[in-house]
Amino acid sequence: MSELLSRAEALDAADELGALRDRFVLDEVVYLDGNSLGALPAHVPDRVADVVRRQWGELRIRSWDESGWWTAPERIGDRIAPLVGAAPGQIVVGDSTSVNVFKALVAAVRMAREAGGAPAGGLRDEILVDATTFPTDGYIAGSAARMTGCTLRPVAPGDVPAELSGRTAAVLLNHVDYRTGRLHDLPSLTAAVHAAGAYAVWDLCHSAGALPVGLDEHGVGLAVGCTYKYLNGGPGSPAFLYVRRDLQDRFDSPLPGWNSHAEPFGMRPEYEPARGALRGRVGTPDILSLLALEASLEVWDAVPIEAVRSKSLALTDFFLECVGAYVPAGRVESVTPAAHGQRGSQVALRCADAGTVMKRLIERGVVGDFRHPDVLRFGFTPLYVGFGDVERAARVLAAVLGEA
């Protein structure tokens, strides 16, 4: 035990990202639930107070122009862009992840049909969905399929290339599995889907802000992601939608709104979509949440996502090592892949009576979460989690399991 604790102290002393911890509101708790809700950046409350008291309270309607409210969705999108490997002008922020999945998936089906390539006399009438997806994605995919006259077929991500056909219009995939932390092969899966004449829609909720994504590099067409996990945007902060530049003029949103109109204040009865990524907007932006997110993203100034990924892998490696050293054999089983190329920024442990175990961990100051029926999830946010946190979490886990 002392050897691992000493190593943790040495690793923290050498951590190039260690000073970022002071930018967050934290206490003595080991917080390993940033894969559900990121911690609060310390400067955000004052920024939000300014938005409320001055921009809203004093400037009022003038803030749409003078405080930049109107351009916030694309401005904040450009702030997120380098964190997911995208050039400016391809991301807008607004609405929830679910709403953006719906926009992207229906638009993907429409673009695939527009491009043609279906079997003779047929139609691209099938949507494939990640069989292990977060439930909401499945619900949205089912609704999109009904709306577009498609059949919905759940497929394991690794089986997607073999299941593609001339009928496939769109494929909805998670970059990182929310239960297990498995990282799926975005480059090869994207290439396979596009080679089949279909469009991949990537859900980046568990990878944005945790690892390099490379949207532009890998030719991804459409992607969505939330901002309240590794991006620390706050509870319910608005999601983002990525539309590759060369697809933007073809992106036919199923939710056209006045904010995505080419002439939003023209109040014309006919809809004409704006040019570029702006056509991903719908209604009036949620300004308070948007500007809280914008303030939160300042913690990323001069922080390379590659350094975040390197520390993430080191943290998860060290946690698995500590668990192996402290926890009696057979009490837990990691369901997160050991290979770095297949791991996100969380570790999921299968454990008997996992719900009770997590409750006791939280009572002792180690906060992760529980996923039905038997999974303990621990998320590692490299901006504020240290190696001492990791060692302590494993040690407390061993103590709780020893008492069970």
Active site members: 134, 203, 228-229, 377
Structure tokens at 18: 């260690």
Rounded Cα distance, 137 and 143, in Å: 10
- State which amino acid sits at residue 31: Y
- State which amino acid sits at residue 72: A
Rounded Cα distance, 157 and 138, in Å: 14
CA 293 to chain centre: 14
Are the CB atoms for 100 and 241 separated by under 8 Å? yes
Three-class SS of residue 315? helix
Are the CB atoms for 35 and 379 separated by under 8 Å? yes
Rounded Cα distance, 403 and 399, in Å: 6
CA 263 to chain centre: 31
363 CB-near residues (< 8 Å, 6+ apart) = none
Rounded Cα distance, 271 and 343, in Å: 44
Instruction: Find where tokens 């490299």 sit.
Output: 382
Rounded Cα distance, 132 and 226, in Å: 18
| 354-363 and 387-403 helices, crossing angle to 10° | 120
Instruction: Find where tokens 């050897």 sit.
Output: 3
Rounded Cα distance, 137 and 275, in Å: 27
Could you give the strand order of the β-sheet that contains 332-334, starting from the edge strand earlier in sequence?
332-334, 346-351, 375-379, 369-371
* Three-point CA angle 41, 45, 49, nearest 5°: 150
Residue of 181, 196, 221 whose CA lies nearest to 340: 181
